[in-house]
Amino acid sequence: MMLPRAVAVILAPVVLAASDSLRSELTIPGVTSYFPGEPGYANASRPFNLRFKLTPDAVVYPSTVKELSEVVKVGFENNLRVTARSGGHSYIANALEGQIVIDVSNFKNISVDPVAKTAVIGSGNRLGDIALALNDYGLAMPHGTCPYVGIGGHSSYGGFGFDSRMWGLTLDNVLAIDLVLANGTVATASETQNPDLFWAMRGAGPSFAITTAIKFKLYTPPQTVIIFSYNWQLTASGAADALGKFQAFVEESNLPAVFGSEIVLTRGNVEGNVTFALSGAWQGNPNLLNGTVKPYLDAMPPLHAESFFTGNWIESLENLGGGSLNTSAAPDDTDTFYAKSLMSPALETASREAFFNVVATEGFTTNISWFFQIELYGGPNSAINAVPLDATAFAHRSSLFTTQFYASSTVPPYPKSGFTFLDNVVNSITTHAPPDWEYGAYTNYMEDKLPNCKLSTGLQTLVIKFPSSRTTILRIALLAFAGAQEAIRPARDIRLSGWN
Ligand SMILES: Cc1cc2nc3c(=O)[nH]c(=O)nc-3n(C[C@H](O)[C@H](O)[C@H](O)COP(=O)(O)OP(=O)(O)OC[C@H]3O[C@@H](n4cnc5c(N)ncnc54)[C@H](O)[C@@H]3O)c2cc1C
Ligand SMILES: *[C@@H]1O[C@H](CO)[C@@H](O)[C@H](O)[C@H]1NC(C)=O
Ligand SMILES: *[C@@H]1O[C@H](CO)[C@@H](O)[C@H](O)[C@H]1NC(C)=O
Ligand SMILES: *[C@@H]1O[C@H](CO)[C@@H](O)[C@H](O)[C@H]1NC(C)=O
Ligand SMILES: *[C@@H]1O[C@H](CO)[C@@H](O)[C@H](O)[C@H]1NC(C)=O
Ligand SMILES: *[C@@H]1O[C@H](CO)[C@@H](O)[C@H](O)[C@H]1NC(C)=O
Ligand SMILES: *[C@@H]1O[C@H](CO)[C@@H](O)[C@H](O)[C@H]1NC(C)=O
Ligand SMILES: *[C@@H]1O[C@H](CO)[C@@H](O)[C@H](O)[C@H]1NC(C)=O
């Protein structure tokens, strides 16, 4: 959908200087705030991705919904851009783009209803702590593998784990959201309360409201999980063939939903080769994994290595998370990186060959460290694909793969060669794809170089100033994820019947 230029102009943030009056307005009993130059400010404004350095006018830590609403009102009345931060793991540090940053880490309540199999989770919780709390009740929900990722961003923009083919994305399991609108109004969104807002929150949430608590649907997890990895050393053309065979395996089998997987690509042993792995989690009867993957292994060259970890549910999450799930036990990490993503159908031969040629040559000579993950969203029995495209504001869920391209220098400065390498890699795929190949980007792997990306940042007061019609909300939602989704190419699958 094309938007009138005027709308985009209205959405541009108004930049005002930090002032003493802001400091005094944010002096709210019980609320901790950090301002530039103060002790604690550097820590409070440090992003996960050190490629970015942002200097918000204030980083504020409310503890109650009322306090959070008061802080939002200060922003609203002064026409300042307000953003929320949950786990702070945004790829582009956009939680820190606000002039007022509201850190929700004090919103840590988790209450589980084991009979209804639901949980109300404070938006300041991180995935590892959530998994531990639910596991106390023998319950679980789908989400990504990194324990330190916050539920605030994760559930707004997607949320993929190896359990997502069984249970959907994290946002597919949101039942209701307690939130604060851009004018400070406290509200709830669900299928029955503010349903348009509920639609927009699931896919474009950060542009509409700050979530304080989210009610999720829960599941009884499998008792035993096998984390598997099958590894090969392949030439570029061998790898192009191996990905083609994987696509055929997925399309031709009746792959059960309990098979969660991705193809992981890393630097090859020699120039011209690629390290190629099929990794994932088997969440079904442990005796049935070997038979399930056999058709693929039979079609492939001999394995270079394989590894298996078998454990109960929570042990499998610890294994995938690389250690403890308790994020209070050890401090969070940082990285310095550039990442891109593609949500797409299968890659045709020309794309696969061009892609693996770059991966096996530039991917070997570059001094940046990188990995690519071709995550299986679709295939038979996928709960992600089963949700109708227009059910939420999250686009491209009908895709077969979401591929993440990640290149890190660990610490700043980030070299120009890192950008060039990743751009070349992704271009090798898209420029060799057929003209009707539908692709977009994944909002949880937000990319700053996409045009309009910044439109997804900050609460849009427009929602309140304009009549809150479905059309307006749809427009804002489209704009909100324009950066990550439409900018690459119009997301044609976002059309909604009857909606303008
Ligand atoms: C190491 C690592 C591993 C990852 N693994 C996975 C994975 O396995 N699967 C996957 O799907 N993704 C994964 N991701 C991506 C991750 O899902 C996103 O980066 C996610 O948006 C981070 O959420 P956050 O709350 O930690 O981020 P933040 O930086 O706090 O927030 C991200 C965005 O959400 C907004 N936001 C935060 N809290 C709120 C709130 N309460 N209300 C409204 N808006 C809010 C922010 O303003 C910002 O726009 C990973 C990221 C990292 C860094
Ligand atoms: C630094 O900031 C992070 C994120 O807000 C917080 O969790 C941590 O407690 C802070 N550390 C210190 C020493 O203040
Ligand atoms: C968290 O739970 C406690 C105890 O039930 C309650 O007093 C408090 O208000 C809750 N906090 C939030 C932010 O909901
Ligand atoms: C490169 O890959 C080819 C094809 O699999 C393999 O024969 C060769 O041994 C690999 N080279 C190294 C150094 O592993
Ligand atoms: C499955 O195959 C692996 C080797 O690939 C083997 O170690 C394991 O014992 C097999 N499991 C079953 C249940 O046969
Ligand atoms: C997490 O670690 C902290 C600090 O070590 C500890 O106090 C807390 O009890 C742990 N929580 C869980 C759920 O194990
Ligand atoms: C990495 O390579 C780039 C050019 O490709 C070069 O500018 C840079 O200095 C190299 N960095 C290191 C640490 O070798
Ligand atoms: C805040 O915005 C909501 C949604 O548009 C509106 O219903 C409400 O009246 C506004 N509140 C105030 C105080 O302006």
Written as one letter, the residue type at 231 is N
DSSP secondary structure letters along 83-111: EEESS---TT-GGG-SSEEEE-TT---EE
Q: Which two tokens stand for residue 335?
A: 């990285």
The answer to whether the CB of 270 is under 6 A from ligand 4 is yes
At residue 452, the pLDDT reads 56
The answer to whether the CB of 144 is under 6 A from ligand 1 is yes
Per-residue pLDDT tens over the stretch 17-33: 457 899 999 999 999 99
The answer to whether the CB of 90 is under 6 A from ligand 1 is yes
- Long-range contacts at 113-116 (CB < 8 A, ≥ 24 apart): 114/138, 114/139
Characterize 387-417 residue by residue with b for buried, 16 or more Cβ atoms within 10 angstroms of its Cβ, and e for exposed.
bebeebbbbbbbbbbbbbbbbbbeeeebbee
pLDDT at 477 over 90: no
Nearest CA to ligand 6 atom 4: 329
Q: Which two tokens stand for residue 232?
A: 């090969």
At residue 295, the pLDDT reads 97
Separation CA 20–CA 58 (nearest Å): 11
Per-residue pLDDT tens over the stretch 211-229: 999 999 999 999 999 999 9
Q: Which two tokens stand for residue 405?
A: 């391209």
pLDDT level of residue 446 (50, 70, 90 thresholds): confident
Separation CA 302–CA 34 (nearest Å): 57
Measured over all CA atoms, what is the biggest interatomic distance in the chain, rounded to whole angstroms? 70
Distance from Cα 288 to the centre of ligand 5, integer Å: 10
Identify which has the larger pLDDT, 197 or 405: 405
pLDDT level of residue 244 (50, 70, 90 thresholds): very high
DSSP secondary structure letters along 135-195: HTTT-B----S-TT-BHHHHHHH----TTHHHH--GGGGEEEEEEEETTS-EEEEESSSSH
Characterize 447-469 residue by residue with b for buried, 16 or more Cβ atoms within 10 angstroms of its Cβ, and e for exposed.
bbebebbbbbbbbbbbbeebebe
State which ligand 4 atom lies nearest to the alpha carbon of 232: 5
Task: Give the mean model confidence (pLDDT) for residues 404-411.
Answer: 98
Nearest CA to ligand 2 atom 4: 44
Sheet holding 58-61, edge to edge: 32-34, 58-61, 100-103, 82-85
At residue 474, the pLDDT reads 55
Task: Give the mean model confidence (pLDDT) for residues 87-102.
Answer: 94
Task: Give the mean model confidence (pLDDT) for residues 29-57.
Answer: 96
Ligand 3 site residues (CB inside 6 A) read: 64-65, 107, 109
Identify which has the larger pLDDT, 6 or 166: 166
Distance from Cα 109 to the centre of ligand 3, integer Å: 6
In sequence order, the β-bridge partners of residue 374 are: 263, 403
pLDDT at 143 over 90: yes
Separation CA 311–CA 223 (nearest Å): 8
pLDDT at 483 over 50: no
pLDDT at 487 over 90: no
Separation CA 209–CA 363 (nearest Å): 41
Task: Give the mean model confidence (pLDDT) for residues 280-289.
Answer: 98
At residue 500, the pLDDT reads 25
Q: What is the mean pLDDT of the chain?
A: 88
Residue 306: helix, strand or coil by DSSP? strand
Query: How many helices (DSSP H) and strands (DSSP E) are in the chain?
Result: 16, 16
The answer to whether the CB of 287 is under 6 A from ligand 5 is yes
Ligand nearest to the CA of 448: 1
The answer to whether the CB of 239 is under 6 A from ligand 4 is no
| pTM given for the model | 0.92
Are the C-beta atoms of residues 57 and 74 closer than 8 Å to each other?
A: no
At residue 473, the pLDDT reads 54
At residue 183, the pLDDT reads 85
The answer to whether the CB of 125 is under 6 A from ligand 1 is no
pLDDT at 497 over 50: no
**Lowest pLDDT segment from 73-87, 231-245, 300-314, 436-450:** 436-450
Nearest CA to ligand 5 atom 10: 290
Quickly count: other Cβ atoms within 10 Å of residue 30's Cβ.
Answer: 11
The answer to whether the CB of 468 is under 6 A from ligand 8 is yes
pLDDT at 347 over 90: yes
Residue 24: helix, strand or coil by DSSP? helix
Per-residue pLDDT tens over the stretch 257-271: 999 999 999 999 999
Task: Give the mean model confidence (pLDDT) for residues 292-318.
Answer: 98
Rounded to the nearest angstrom, the gap between the alpha carbon of residue 60 and the centroid of all alpha carbons in its chain is: 24
State which ligand 6 atom lies nearest to the alpha carbon of 326: 1
